[in-house]
């Protein structure tokens, strides 16, 4: 209980040890405590079935999460002055996630803690109540992976390195040597024991097998999820800057099936990278809000594409264009499927266009780009739904953005018929 209370920092305004910018100091403190308590003072004291290492670590992360809420929540006297600083905010979140992964790896490797696989919480409860164990399911070890999916190793200071790197191999070798020394000590202690004593030891070991423990990932880091507004705002700002550039950018990529504006492919590449960055941190509320930002940006981009059309020269149904009189009404296109835009686009449906010489190519590029965007939005929706937390899957719907691009396509086709 005394150790549990120790990491609580004083909730004073901008106290450096308790600030977001110094969050790694508390994690360094806990590493020292873990080594001191379970590698030196109380080594081999607690039965594995008690999961003392896990319970203590989870309690520490829970307390840390409560304090992070105090630092992030608006209206608190102890709110951190850097909570709106995206760099500090992301650094604190990344260090917290990395520490949760580090503790998962360390508890597994050094103390034999077994983590329940996601979706098997009920099985863990059954085991705790005396039910059977499934070696391939309940005792499956949690994967500790980096952002690119590569396994991680952690040094004594908690620094993450790729397991396949020279440093990672060295860390793994040193850990194996320590495990071998511990195993050798245990063997030496038991030399000379009779068969009956060995059987009793085996029975005791079976009785003391650790119960699968709940995951540590997200215990503290989930506190950030409601306060990631500055991060979302930064992503929106970056996408808005791309939109500004795309307004004057007429470059076309003709390598695919359709020639499209390069600004469209660049926008979707940015969105994909943004998804990768976000899901490395969270797949919950923040990711859902980021998806809403994508929707807003895509609607804006459709407006940018529509702005590349030549302006209508008349809003009257009968428009004299050169020597040709063309009567444009919404009804005249309904049979050909051009009336999908509905009443909101009635004015555009009856507008007359004069396309300057050579500009018909630009109109065609806009139409092709809109078709590309509509198809890619559908794939984007599937990608987001696949990656986001289950509670948000049913809320992902980007059909409105697809319709927006289809509306611009319809306008372009009407313009070509009118202007040519």
The arithmetic mean of pLDDT across residues 380-401, rounded, is 96
Q: Nearest to residue 213, comparing CAs of 125, 293, 143?
A: 125
In whole angstroms, give the CA distance from residue 129 to residue 118.
19
The residue with tokens 């038991």 is 190
Residue 41 has pLDDT above 50, yes or no: yes
In whole angstroms, give the CA distance from residue 121 to residue 182.
32
| First-to-last C-alpha distance (Å) of the chain | 82
Structure tokens at 358: 């050579």
In whole angstroms, give the CA distance from residue 24 to residue 161.
17
Q: What are 325-356's pLDDT values in tens digits? A: 333 333 333 333 333 344 445 555 556 667 77
Domain borders along the chain are 2-216, 228-419
Q: Which pLDDT score is estimated for 347? A: 53
Q: Which pLDDT score is estimated for 183? A: 59
Q: Nearest to residue 333, comparing CAs of 348, 314, 323, 322?
A: 348
The residue with tokens 């009920």 is 122
Helix axes 86-111, 23-35, angle to 10 degrees: 10
Q: Which pLDDT score is estimated for 118? A: 59
Higher-pLDDT residue of 300 and 137 is: 300
Q: Enter the CATH code of domain 228-419.
A: 1.10.357
Average pLDDT, rounded, for the chain: 77
CA 184 to chain centre: 44
- Whole-angstrom CA distances from 45 to 32, 38, 41, 105, 106 are 18, 8, 9, 21, 18
Q: What are 248-266's pLDDT values in tens digits? A: 888 998 887 889 999 999 9
The residue with tokens 């899901």 is 279
Note the pTM of the prediction, 2 decimals: 0.73
Q: Nearest to residue 278, comparing CAs of 104, 99, 86?
A: 86
Q: Strand pairing partners for 326?
A: 319
Higher-pLDDT residue of 359 and 314 is: 359
Select, from the ranges 194-208, 300-314, 395-409, the one with the highest average predicted confidence (pLDDT).
395-409
Structure tokens at 22: 């110094």
Q: Which pLDDT score is estimated for 151? A: 75
Three-class HEC string of the chain: CHHHHCCCCCCCCCCHHHCHHHHHHHHHHHHHHHHHHHHHHCCCCCCHHHCHHHHHHHHHHHHHHHHHHHHHCCCCCCCCCCCCCHHHHHHHHHHHHHHHHHHHHHHHHHHCCCECCCCCHHHHHHHHCCCCCCCCCCCCCCCCECCCCCEEEECCCCCEEECCCHHHHHHHHHHHHHHHHHHHHHHHHHCCCCHHHHHHHHHHHHHCCCCCECCCCCCCHHHHHHHCHHHHHHHHHHHHHHHHHHHHCCCEECCCCCCEEHHHHHHHHHHHHHHHHHHCCCCCHHHHHHHHHHHHHHHHHHHHHHCCCCCEEECCCEEEECCEEEECCHHHHHCCCCCCCCHHHHHHHCCEECCCCCCHHHHHHHHHHHHHHHHHHHHHHHHHHHHCCHHHHCCCCCHHHHHHHHHHHHHHHHHHHHHC
Q: Nearest to residue 155, comparing CAs of 167, 143, 142?
A: 167
In whole angstroms, give the CA distance from residue 383 to residue 212.
32
Q: What are 108-154's pLDDT values in tens digits? A: 888 888 888 755 444 444 444 444 444 443 334 444 666 556 677 77
Q: Nearest to residue 216, comparing CAs of 89, 53, 66?
A: 53
Residue 226 has pLDDT above 90, yes or no: yes
Q: Which pLDDT score is estimated for 282? A: 93
Q: Which pLDDT score is estimated for 376? A: 96
Higher-pLDDT residue of 207 and 31 is: 31
């Amino acid at each position: 209980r005394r150790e549990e209370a120790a990491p609580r920092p004083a909730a004073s305004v901008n106290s450096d040890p308790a600030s977001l910018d110094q969050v790694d100091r508390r994690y360094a403190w806990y590493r020292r405590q873990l080594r001191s308590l379970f590698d030196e003072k109380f080594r081999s004291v607690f039965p594995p079935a008690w999961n003392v290492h896990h319970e203590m670590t989870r309690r520490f992360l829970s307390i840390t999460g409560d304090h992070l809420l105090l630092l992030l929540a608006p209206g608190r006297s102890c709110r951190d002055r850097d909570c709106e600083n995206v760099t500090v905010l992301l650094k604190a979140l990344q260090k917290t996630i990395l520490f949760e992964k580090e503790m998962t790896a360390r508890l597994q490797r050094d103390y034999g803690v077994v983590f329940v696989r996601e979706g098997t919480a009920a099985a863990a409860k059954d085991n705790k109540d005396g039910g059977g164990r499934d070696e391939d399911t309940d005792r499956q070890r949690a994967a500790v992976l980096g952002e690119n999916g590569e396994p991680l190793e952690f040094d004594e200071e908690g620094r993450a390195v790729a397991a396949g790197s020279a440093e990672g191999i060295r860390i793994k070798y040193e850990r194996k040597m320590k495990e071998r020394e511990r195993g050798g000590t245990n063997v030496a202690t038991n030399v000379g024991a009779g068969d009956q004593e060995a059987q009793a030891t085996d029975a005791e070991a079976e009785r003391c097998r650790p119960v699968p423990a709940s995951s540590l990932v997200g215990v503290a880091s989930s506190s950030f999820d409601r306060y990631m507004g500055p991060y979302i705002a930064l992503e929106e700002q970056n996408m808005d800057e791309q939109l500004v550039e795309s307004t004057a950018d007429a470059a076309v990529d003709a390598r695919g099936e359709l020639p499209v504006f390069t600004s469209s492919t660049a926008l979707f590449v940015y969105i994909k990278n943004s998804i990768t960055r976000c899901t490395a941190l969270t797949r919950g509320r923040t990711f859902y809000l980021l998806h809403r930002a994508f929707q807003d940006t895509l609607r804006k981009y459709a407006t940018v594409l529509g702005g590349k059309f030549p302006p209508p020269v008349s809003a009257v149904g009968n428009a004299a264009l050169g020597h040709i009189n063309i009567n444009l009404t919404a009804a005249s296109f309904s049979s050909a499927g051009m009336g999908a835009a509905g009443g909101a686009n009635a004015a555009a449906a009856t507008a007359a266009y004069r396309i300057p010489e050579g500009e018909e190519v630009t109109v065609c590029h806009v139409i092709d780009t809109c078709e590309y965007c509509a198809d890619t939005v559908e794939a984007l929706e599937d990608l987001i739904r696949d990656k986001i937390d289950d509670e948000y899957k049913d809320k992902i719907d980007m059909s409105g953005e697809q319709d927006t691009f289809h509306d611009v396509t319809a306008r372009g086709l009407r313009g070509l018929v009118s202007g040519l």
